[in-house]
Structure formats: structure tokens, C-alpha cells
């Protein structure tokens, strides 16, 4: 398991990051502990979570994931060996995060979020604290078909400088070590970089965005932005919420799957998505691999990747994801993937 420097920070994280958003909903505390035990045995030192989790977000379950991760760290006594990443929600009308009012990326809400996360995790410092999504219109969340560039600025957007100044205070207070973004655009990333260069607050070290065979939009502008500004990509949804495992092929609806339980996979059900997913899954089998290993191996192979955030609801699924590290990604595979990408583009941005 390779360890890679995260941006310009002093953090060295495993090339595989364990995503934990199923802990507290699809997975019990014991199952979450078992997943983290297995991941740690294989060299994973990087755990990603959020105040929002588990998924799907609900008032009655919100925060359980951090509590489960915290109980595992306490039981194993390994805080000094684990890099903890969590997130504060962006702009949301959901009132149960802040006790009866909508949440924004303003001082009071960020301070409320960090203190609650620290308490649930049972630690005094989070290594990487990320903004889950912006305080402005963007394609993430309730508007998955919105094109960011066409969204009108909101009259009450929280200025990026104001938000970043709060993170500066969190670093100075010792509550967080480093600052990251998620679900951001090139414009947003560069605005944060510009404010940091002015001395407003900490420099962004990471960007957590979706990246997979059916969503390579990161390559268009963000890859250059992140490379030149030394910002590490943390790729989420490498399996397109399970579609790139093949389990939904030909209309299958396996019991216990997220599609059956929650029906929240619309990002990967857009026009053209089904044909693209079927083509990549067939390609994987032609190369003698399961679709899941093929999809993970593609993400793992990207030269701009810092960490691939994998997720599972069972130990066999986790073994499958970790096993993708053994796949030798060949030029033949890359040529085949690129050829299909030229035809199909990014059906699931």
C-alpha cells in the first residue's frame, strides 16, 4: 500500500481511503469496526466521513458514522496511526444539522459542526476538515442536473473569504490540521487558493470530487488546476454507486442494494448512462476481470490520483476493492477505455 503526500501538507495517506458513509445505516457498529480492521491490516491509514453521514441523510441517523469511527479508534488505541477526514455540510435547507435552522458556511454553523464532530469522534483534532459542498448553486445534492456555469449567483451567498477565515481560526485553535474542499469547480478551488495567498486562511490541500469511468469531468479543467496548485484528488464514487460492479446489469435489483433500499442513484441513471455502464462492464469481463476490479484499477492508475475512496457494505466487497491494487493496468486497457470514452463522454457528471 503506497503512502502519498496530501497536497503540500505533512500528511501521508494511503492510496486507498476507506469511505464510511454506510456505517450507522446499512452497516452496524460491529460491521463498521470489522471493515476498518480489515482495511488497517492491508495498510489503509485514511478514513473519510462527514457530519452528514450515514447515507441517506436523516435527522435520526445524522452523525452516527463519526460515532462509530470514534468508538473504533478508542477501542484500538490507534489514533496516532490513522488520518481522519471529515466534512461540514455546505448550504442546506435541512434544519436538523443546526437545531432548527438552515445551515450555511458561516462562522456559527462551522463552529457548531466542528465541535459536534470532535465530540462524536472522541478526538481533539481532525486531520483533514473539508467543505462537503459550496455555499452557492452547484450540481451536487438536490440539483443533480444543474450546470454550475449557468446558475445565477445567490444574493445571500457566504463570501469565500469569510468562510476561509473561520477555517484559519480552527487551525490556530488546534481543532483541525488541514483544510480541503469537495464537490468544487475550478473557479471555486482557485478562489480559495487566491484567498489563502492573500493570507485569509489555510491553503486547500485536497479536493474530493466524483471520478469514475462514467465521470471523467475532473480531467477537463480540475486536473490542471490541482496539479499546478499541488492539491490532491480524493476520488469518490469510483464504482458509480455500484453500477460499475455489474450488479444492476440487465435491470437486476439485488436485495439489500442501495437502489432497492433507498432509490437515490439518479446521478447514474441519466440519458446514456445505462449503455455506457453496460459497455464498461462488458469490457472488464473481456479483460478477464470483474467490473468492480476493473473500475477500481482504472481510478487507481490515474497519475493525478492521491487516494481512491472505496466503500463497501460487506467484507467480501471490501476485499474486492482492495484486490484491485493487484491489477496491472496496461496500455491496452487504457486505449480501450479511452476509445469508449471518446464515443460516450461523461454520461454521469
Q: CATH number for the domain including 123? A: 3.20.20.100
35 neighbors 318 (Cβ within 8 angstroms): yes
Q: Is 239 contained in some domain?
A: yes
In a domain, 349, yes or no: no
pLDDT at 166 over 50: yes
**Category of 230 on φ-ψ map: left (φ > 0), alpha (ψ -120 to 50) or beta:** left
Domains contained in the chain, number:
1
Query: Strand pairing partners for 128?
Result: 85, 178
Greatest alpha-carbon pair distance for the chain in Å reads: 55
Q: Worst-scoring range by mean pLDDT, 56-60, 86-90, 104-108, 137-141?
A: 137-141
Q: Is 271 exposed, middle or buried (0-12, 13-18, 19+ CB in 10 A)?
A: exposed
Q: How confident is the model at residue 154 (pLDDT cuts 50, 70, 90)?
A: confident
Mean pLDDT of 197-210: 98
Predicted confidence (pLDDT) at residue 143 exceeds the cutoff of 70: no
Residue 229 lies in a domain: yes
**What pairing do the DSSP bridges indicate for beta strands 12-14 and 3-5?**
antiparallel
Record the cell numbers describing residue 345, joined without a space: 463522454
Own/partner pairs, 325-334, CB within 8 angstroms, 24+ separation = 325/1, 325/15, 325/16, 325/300, 327/289, 327/293, 327/294, 327/296, 327/297, 327/300, 329/297, 329/298, 329/300, 329/301, 333/287, 333/294, 333/297, 333/298, 334/301
Q: What is the pLDDT of residue 226?
A: 98
pTM, two decimal places: 0.95
Helix axis angle, 315-323 relative to 29-41, nearest 10°?
A: 20
Q: Please, which pLDDT band fits residue 142 given cuts at 50, 70 and 90?
A: very low
* pLDDT band per the 50, 70, 90 thresholds, residue 139: low
Q: Is residue 302 part of a domain?
A: yes
Q: pLDDT grade, residue 141 (50/70/90)?
A: very low
Give the C-alpha separation, 310 to 16, whole Å. Answer: 7
Most confident residue range from 91-95, 149-153, 222-226, 248-252: 222-226
Question: What DSSP string describes 138-153?
Answer: -SSTT-TT--GGGSPP
Radius of gyration of the chain measured on its C-alpha atoms: 19
pLDDT at position 155, please?
87
Q: How far apart are the first and last CA of the chain?
A: 29
- pLDDT-wise least confident of 41-45, 126-130, 151-155: 151-155
Q: How far is CA 75 from CA 65, 95, 98, in A?
A: 15, 33, 29
Q: Decide if 259 is inside a domain.
A: yes
282 within domain boundaries = yes
pLDDT-derived band at 264 (thresholds 50, 70, 90) equals: confident
pLDDT at res. 148: 55
List active site positions.
53
Of 340, 233, 248, the C-alpha closest to 286 is 340
Strands (E) located in the chain: 3-5, 12-14, 16-19, 46-48, 83-88, 126-131, 176-182, 204-210, 232-236, 305-310
CA neighbor of 308 nearest in space, from 327, 289, 280? 327
State which residues form the domain around 208.
3-344
- In this prediction, residue 256 carries a pLDDT of 87
The cell numbers describing 20, all together, are 464510511
Asked if pLDDT for residue 145 goes beyond 60, the answer is no
Report pLDDT for 137. 78
Q: Is residue 55 one of the residues assigned to a domain?
A: yes
Q: Which three cell numbers stand for residue 23?
A: 456505517
Residue range 253-262, pLDDT digits in tens: 988 888 898 8
What pLDDT score was predicted for residue 269?
87
Task: Give Cβ neighbours of residue 186 (< 8 Å, ≥ 6 apart).
Answer: 221, 222, 225
For residue 224, tell me if it sits in a domain. Answer: yes
Cell numbers representing residue 192 in the block? 480559495
Q: Tell whether the model's pLDDT for residue 12 goes beyond 70.
A: yes
Across 293-309, average pLDDT = 98
pLDDT cut 90: percent of the chain above it: 88
23-27, 40-44, 184-188: range with lowest mean pLDDT? 184-188
Amino acid at each position: 500500500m503506497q503512502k502519498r503526500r496530501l497536497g503540500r501538507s505533512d500528511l501521508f495517506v494511503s492510496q486507498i481511503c476507506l469511505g464510511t458513509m454506510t456505517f450507522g445505516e446499512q452497516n452496524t457498529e460491529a460491521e463498521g469496526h470489522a471493515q476498518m480492521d480489515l482495511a488497517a491490516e492491508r495498510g489503509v491509514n485514511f478514513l473519510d466521513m462527514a457530519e452528514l453521514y450515514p447515507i441517506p441523510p436523516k435527522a435520526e441517523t445524522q452523525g452516527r458514522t463519526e460515532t462509530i469511527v470514534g468508538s473504533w479508534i478508542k477501542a484500538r488505541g490507534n489514533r496516532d496511526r490513522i488520518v481522519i477526514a471529515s466534512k461540514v455540510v455546505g448550504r442546506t435547507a435541512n434544519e436538523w444539522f443546526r437545531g432548527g435552522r438552515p445551515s450555511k458556511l458561516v462562522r456559527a454553523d462551522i463552529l457548531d459542526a466542528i465541535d459536534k464532530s470532535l465530540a462524536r469522534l472522541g478526538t481533539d483534532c481532525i486531520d483533514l476538515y473539508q467543505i462537503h459542498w459550496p455555499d452557492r448553486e452547484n450540481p451536487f445534492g438536490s440539483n443533480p442536473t444543474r450546470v454550475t456555469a449557468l446558475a445565477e449567483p445567490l444574493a445571500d451567498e457566504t463570501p469565500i473569504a469569510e468562510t476561509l477565515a473561520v477555517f484559519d481560526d480552527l487551525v490556530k485553535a488546534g481543532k483541525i490540521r488541514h483544510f480541503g474542499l469537495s464537490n468544487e469547480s475550478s473557479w471555486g478551488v482557485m478562489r480559495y487558493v487566491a484567498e489563502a495567498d492573500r493570507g485569509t486562511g489555510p491553503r486547500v490541500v485536497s479536493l474530493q470530487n466524483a471520478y469514475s469511468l462514467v465521470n471523467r469531468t475532473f480531467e477537463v479543467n480540475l486536473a490542471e488546476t490541482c496539479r499546478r496548485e499541488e492539491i490532491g484528488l480524493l476520488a469518490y464514487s469510483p464504482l458509480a454507486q455500484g453500477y460499475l460492479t455489474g450488479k444492476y446489469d440487465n435491470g437486476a435489483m439485488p436485495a439489500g442494494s442501495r437502489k432497492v433500499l433507498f432509490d437515490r442513484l439518479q446521478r447514474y441513471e441519466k440519458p446514456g448512462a445505462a449503455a455506457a455502464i453496460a459497455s464498461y462492464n462488458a469490457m472488464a469481463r473481456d479483460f478477464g476481470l470483474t467490473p468492480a476490479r476493473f473500475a477500481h484499477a482504472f481510478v487507481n492508475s490515474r497519475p493525478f490520483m492521491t487516494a481512491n475512496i472505496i466503500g463497501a457494505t460487506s467484507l467480501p466487497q471490501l476485499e474486492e476493492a482492495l484486490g484491485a491494487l493487484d491489477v496491472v493496468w496496461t496500455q491496452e486497457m487504457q486505449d480501450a477505455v479511452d476509445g469508449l470514452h471518446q464515443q460516450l463522454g461523461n454520461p454521469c457528471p
